[in-house]
Amino acid sequence: MVSTVVSRAGLEIPTVGLGTWRMTGHTCRRAVETALELGYRHVDTAQKYGNEREVGIAISASDVSREELFLTTKVWGRNARYDDVLESTKASLDRLGVDYVDLLLVHWPNPLVDVAETMAAMNDLHEEGLVRAIGVSNFSVDQLQKAQRASDLPLLTNQVQFHPYEPQRELLAYCQDEEIVLTAYSPLAHGGVVHDDTLTEIGWRYGVSPAQVAIRWAIQHAGVIAIPKAASREHLAENVDVFDFELTRSEMAEITNASSLRSGLAWLRGRL
């Protein structure tokens, strides 16, 4: 059973979910189906990913009831205006084949649209019962503050890149102070952690892989959940098997003290 974290919105969110960025077609459908078979109950998608339909088909084909699943999608930046938020979200629900999503995020800040307009639409979708909670993605502290002020609803999360080479110290501290969940995407640093000597050495102590150490490092921070992407059954099973060991305080600090070179390489991998 996947551990859960309870948010300020009163929703239980599985601590480890499945990210589906860059997965489409049969690969995406099979990954979601396998993840649900393995016990995942949190699936993350987005309008921009072009895979909402495949995610929906996999959910429909599974034995998991809708009520057991925490489903997230995101409004793409060009759909940030009020009417576009409403229209595109309803189109997302149609593609997913569901009556509601548990969490709707603004995928990226749009400098050409007042965030208050976007938040108003998301609040109204919540009022209609089409979304259970709202949040943002890839927002800085300043941008997050503006979104908070513009929304009548509390923001559940800020989904950002978060891994040992991108520890997001300032943003993490702010989210923890505000009781906003930080959702870590790319917690494996686009594969960069797999050959990391520090993570490998720490993994030996617990009989786990460097990837498992990285995911454990992420979710061991207060108020952080992770959505690693994987397609194979082996990696899907490995990514969620991170609850039977705990890193020490010194190990957490050792992992966080990443070099600027490793941070730069992780940045580069995410753009290739």
CA distances from 261 to 12, 34, 65, 188, 198 (A): 37, 35, 45, 16, 14
Cβ atoms within 10 Å of 68's Cβ, excluding its own = 11
CA neighbor of 88 nearest in space, from 52, 60, 132, 116: 52
**Contact predicate 45/75, CB 8 Å:** no
48, 24 contact by CB (below 8 A) = no
- Per the annotation, the verdict on 49 as an active-site residue is yes
The token duo for 167 is 């520890």
Please give the distance of CA 158 from its chain centroid, rounded to a whole number.
9
User: What whole-number distance in Å separates Cα of residue 171 and Cα of residue 51?
Assistant: 29
With beta carbons less than 8 A apart as the criterion, state whether 5 and 15 touch: yes
User: What is the torsional sign of CA 157, 158, 161, 163?
Assistant: negative
Q: What are the strands of the beta sheet with 42-44, ordered from one edge?
A: 18-19, 42-44, 70-75, 101-106, 131-137, 155-161, 181-185, 224-226
Catalytic residue among 40, 49, 165, 174: 49
**Residues annotated catalytic, as ranges:** 49
